Amino acid sequence: MTARKSVRLDLADLRADLDAIAGWIQPGERVLDLGCGDGLLLRRLMDEKQVIGYGIEKDPAGVLACLKSGVNVIQVNLERGLAGFEDGAFDHVIMSLSLQMIQNTVGLLKELLRVGHEAVVSFPNFGYYTHRQAILKGRMPVSESLPYQWFDTPNVRFFTIADFESLCQEQGIAILETIALDNGARVTEDINFLADTAIYRLGRP
């Protein structure tokens, strides 16, 4: 999961994503950021919100980048879950733009809400209208929010906003707040069609 470090994601989306997440974090909280990349978000939360923050990153270069920025980094593989962390150890567990790179989606979502009182999850929306157009034309979508070719994508799960909300309902996960974005700008209507990125604040069942 190299997530935010190496991807060619649109910067406007990335900034908007991080802005939205930062807005949900209260000063002094304990925060765990899964797939933290180079620690950009945590560094910001440490500086702006004085959080006690930890990032999980398995990529060796990401680990070094975090250490260089003075961000606490923990090098473990998320596919193994968050074993060892006690229930409710964090106020917020964040997973920014990397849920689609994890095989064990349901298991990890449960882990997020076990170790965190709340979770913040963002992901690229495969239901975005340009993605649908690409499929109609017979090609897999490639866009600013899905910058990869089908043969080199780190993404292993392909889902839309509607898919995600349906899974939350099925698993009894409470959707506390939603922010939908199109090229970094807020979208409020027909978000499964018009938003390229969605950010959720999730609560325990």
Partner 1 sequence: MNDVLPGSVGLVRPQTFHCAVPLPLKSGAVLPEFTLVYETYGTLNADASNAVLVCHALSGNHHVAGYTDAADQEGTLGWWDNLVGPGKPLDTNKFFVVGVNNLGGCYGSSGPNTVNQKTGKLYGADFPVVTVEDWVDAQARLADHLGVASWAAVVGGSLGGMQALQWTLSYPARLQHAVVIASAPTLTAQNIAFNEVARQAILTDPEFYGGHYYEQGVVPARGLKLARMLGHITYLSDDQMAEKFGRSLKDGALKYSYETDFQIESYLRYQGEKFSGYFDANTYLLTTKALDYFDPAVSTGGNLDAALAGAQADFLVVAFTTDWRFSPERSREIMTALVHNGRRVSYAEIDSVHGHDSFLMDDAQYHAVLRTYFEEVVL
Single residue of 85, 128, 159, 200 touching partner 1 by CB under 8 A: 85
Applying CB under 8 A, what is the total number of residues that bind partner 1?
Answer: 19
Q: How many CB atoms lie within 10 A of CB 33?
A: 33
Check binding of 114 to partner 1 (CB under 8 A). Answer: no
Q: Decide: helix, strand or coil at residue 111.
A: helix
The verdict on 52 binding partner 1 (CB under 8 A) reads: yes
Nearer to partner 1, 42 or 146 (CB): 42
Stretch that binds partner 1, among 70-78, 124-132, 135-143, 195-203 (CB under 8 A): 70-78
Nearer to partner 1, 12 or 76 (CB): 76
Q: Does 86 bind partner 1 (CB under 8 A)?
A: yes
Sequence-distant (≥ 6) Cβ neighbours of residue 118 within 8 angstroms: 91, 92, 93, 176, 201, 202, 203, 204
Residue whose CB is less far from partner 1, 53 or 127: 53
- In the complex with partner 1, which residue's Cβ is closer, 3 or 51? 51
- Which of 32, 20, 3 has its CA nearest to residue 118? 32
The runs of H, that is alpha helices, within 116-174 are 129-136, 161-171
In the complex with partner 1, which residue's Cβ is closer, 75 or 169?
Answer: 75
Extract the tokens encoding 110: 């449960």
CB-CB contact of 13 with 106 (8 Å): no
Query: Residue 68, interface with partner 1 (CB under 8 A)?
Result: yes
C-alpha to C-alpha distance for 34 and 98, rounded to whole angstroms: 8
Binding residues for partner 1, rule: CB under 8 A, are: 30, 52, 54, 60, 63-64, 66-68, 70, 72-76, 84-86, 89
